[in-house]
């Protein structure tokens, strides 16, 4: 199986800003800005969970756990979308 370049590009479009937000949050000394910067990459996923009534399950979880729970599926989904689009354009 070949690696999809389009899938990697789609995944990087999400991952690079997320990594930048985490890096800025870790270098920030202000707790409020740290919270906002950590919340930016997972904000949309948290909104979807909140609209489905599942956001209560996230309370008490650490940021790394939330990122693993929310970011990994998004990256996989973006890669699959890119893989499908790449195959569609190739035909």
Alpha-helical (H) ranges within the chain are 5-27, 31-39, 43-51, 63-90
pLDDT value at residue 76: 95
Q: Which of 5, 14, 1 is closest to 77 using CA atoms?
A: 14
Q: How confident is the model at residue 29 (pLDDT cuts 50, 70, 90)?
A: confident
Find the domain containing 37 and state its range: 5-90
pLDDT value at residue 74: 93
Using the predicted structure, report yes or no on whether residue 49 has a pLDDT greater than 90.
no
How many domains, the chain? 1
Using the predicted structure, report yes or no on whether residue 59 has a pLDDT greater than 80.
yes
């Amino acid at each position: 199986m070949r690696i999809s370049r389009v899938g990697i590009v789609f995944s990087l479009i999400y991952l690079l800003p997320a990594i930048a937000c985490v890096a800025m949050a870790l270098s920030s000394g202000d707790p409020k800005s740290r919270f906002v910067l950590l919340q930016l990459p997972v904000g949309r996923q948290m909104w979807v969970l909140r609209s489905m009534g599942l956001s209560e399950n996230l309370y008490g979880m650490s940021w790394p756990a939330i990122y693993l729970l929310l970011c990994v599926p998004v990256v996989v989904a973006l890669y699959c979308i890119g893989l499908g689009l790449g195959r569609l354009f190739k035909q």
